[in-house]
Amino acid sequence: MLAGFGEDIAWVKWEDAVETAMEANKPIFLLIHKSWCHACKALKKTFQQSNARKAFKKLSEYFVMVNTEDDEEPYEEEYRPDGKYIPRVLFLG
């Protein structure tokens, strides 16, 4: 579930995200990426920089953080509002 995006963030599995968000009264930050994707690998590298890492950590205070890789991605059309590109970040309320 971490897939290079930080052990210090409380990532939640997609299948638990809606229930967790409702209980916490928070929106969802949904990160969709693939292990073979060059742009996704570049995003991981950027994430490792301290400022980006701090920003993600701060986001985790306000959002239920969901990190999906490969087959973990939700395939319903509502999670592809502007295409199937990756990496993809969605904010769900």
Residues 9-50 have pLDDT tens digits of: 889 999 999 999 999 999 999 999 999 999 999 988 888 877
Q: Per-residue pLDDT tens for 39-69?
A: 999 988 888 877 888 888 898 999 999 999 8
Residue 25 lies in a domain: yes
DSSP-derived 3-state class of residue 73: coil
Count of the separate structural domains present in the chain: 1
- Domain holding 53: CATH number? 3.40.30.10
- pTM (predicted TM-score): 0.84
Residue 84 lies in a domain: no
Domain that holds residue 52: 11-76
Residue 1 and residue 7: Cα distance in Å, rounded? 10
